[in-house]
Structure 1
């Protein structure tokens, strides 16, 4: 099973699969389907693989996240474990500086429990993670880099969701400061043409993979998300 075969039409955007053990940034403004895209990718992949995945939600409760997925017709695999960190936020308020270590250990413990069969994770979202840490920007990024390098060595394919404050639009080539952390950047956005708005997906970069650089339409169907060629 390939990651690019998990969402109808995504295999037309990619000629080759998303490389295993990559760190992939899924970025976009509010309402661009970042959580749905990442969850469907993981859930459908794991349904066809003898592997497990961990979806970490730092803002929504597990129940609200599942309701959101259900509303979009996205299948929930029994091989996906959802770790709800909202309880941690209530308990601790402002997290200690070692939150990244706590998060890393949570992930590595889950991999051990699955007998090493946990192969992919989603962290939703970086913005929520940053808001819980009271350290300087440079130190934060150093710690993030070290944590992600651990995940690469553990052969974990990692998807990091990052919400932008505004929609960048198709003609904006910026990727944000977090781009240096990632092997790949998947941009989800909104394109306005007159009174019509379309969600789109564009692959900014994906190391060791062949892919289109053009925007493709991303839409919600009765059975989850779909990707298809559109005119922009």
Structure 2
């Protein structure tokens, strides 16, 4: 059964999956919606439709086998299953790639190409490997994201890719709930974990890109950031996913790899993208600050995009 059909079909099993995935949001919206709603205001039905519409799948996806978890004992670093980044010059200096099941932070300032680089890793991992993944976006809309990646030369219509990548666009739902003043009434952390678990159980996927943690933190109350981020990372880790969480680095000095300064401690790996200015010139550089269970080269190297090869390369 195809990927789109497994989530949207109207048979008994499909209905069960869809209702289970949407019920928490519908229940919250119903409880939060005022008894008197203006004609122009979104109703519970329109919000329900927004959640369904937020799942933009590039194409149908076939059956996907359960991914294998990373061995936790009895295996040396060189024996771990790894996911290649397909960034020329990086995998060769990182024992072949990122250990399967790792949680990685991709951090950098605005314009450092965090989304582009992370999407390219997902794209090429799917294109050249027997794997599948989802890209969750909370800021850039799915149409804008697809257009940007296509303009870079990534052929997202290639069936080897379109059948195995799903884009989940939560930006519309986020705006809709903000307009209704209901964002603070949703347990975004709990619902995100439930949704990922539902998708993993129902359709199966192995790679996760989350764009971005900063946008997500604006939606949820972070009374104890370290505990909440640990809760999210551990939930993703239990699902056996290899994941990339994009983090915006703000401030003049850009010394903190996340909103709260604890994300990098809780993650398994940190890929840092920097922009160095020399006069009128700006050079983008990449450094692997941290990667557990991996012998990797330290330091920062310039990188750029090779459109003809549809991948980044370290210079």
Q: Same fold by TM-score, threshold 0.5 exceeded?
A: yes
Computed over aligned residues only, the root mean square deviation of the Cα atoms, in angstroms, reads 2.1
| Structure 1 residues 28 and 20, CA gap change in structure 2 (3 angstroms) | same
Structure 1 distance, partners of 2:219, 2:137, is: 13
3-state SS of paired residue (2:130): coil
Contact 1:4 1:10 in 2 (8 A): no
Contact 2:107–2:271 under 8 Å retained in 1: yes
SS class of match (1:50): coil
Q: What are the within-5 Å matches in structure 2 for residues 135-214 of structure 1?
A: 135-136=222-223, 138=224, 140-166=225-251, 168=253, 175-176=257-258, 177=261, 178-214=263-299
Name the larger-Rg structure.
2
Whether 1:17 aligns to 2:97 is: yes
Aligned to 1:126: 213
Cα contact 1:20–1:157 (8 A) shared by 2: yes
Work out the CA distance in 1 between the residues paired with 2:169 and 2:227.
25
Greater strand share, structure number: 1
Tell me how far 1:95 sits from its aligned partner. Answer: 4.2
Structure 1 segments of 4 or more deviating over 4 A?
166-169
1:228 pairs with 2:311: no
Query: Is the deviation greater in 3-12 or in 152-161?
Result: 3-12
Q: What stretches of structure 1 of length at least 5 have no aligned partner?
A: none
TM-score, scaled relative to structure 1: 0.87
Measured in 2, the distance between the counterparts of 1:25 and 1:107 equals 18
The one of 122, 129, 133 aligned to 1:49: 129
Aligned to 1:30: 110
Deviation at 1:12, TM superposition (A): 3.3
| 5 and 161 in structure 1: CA distance in 2 versus 1, 3 angstrom threshold | closer
Flag the structure with more relative contact order, 1 or 2, with Cα contacts below 8 A and sequence separation at least 6.
Answer: 1
What TM-score, normalized to structure 2? Answer: 0.65
In the TM superposition, what is the alpha-carbon distance from 1:97 to its structure 2 partner?
4.8
Q: Unmatched 5+ residue regions in structure 2?
A: 1-80
Which residue is equivalent to 1:98? Answer: 187
> How far 1:38 sits from its partner (Å)?
0.8
CA contact (8 A) 1:9 1:226 kept: no
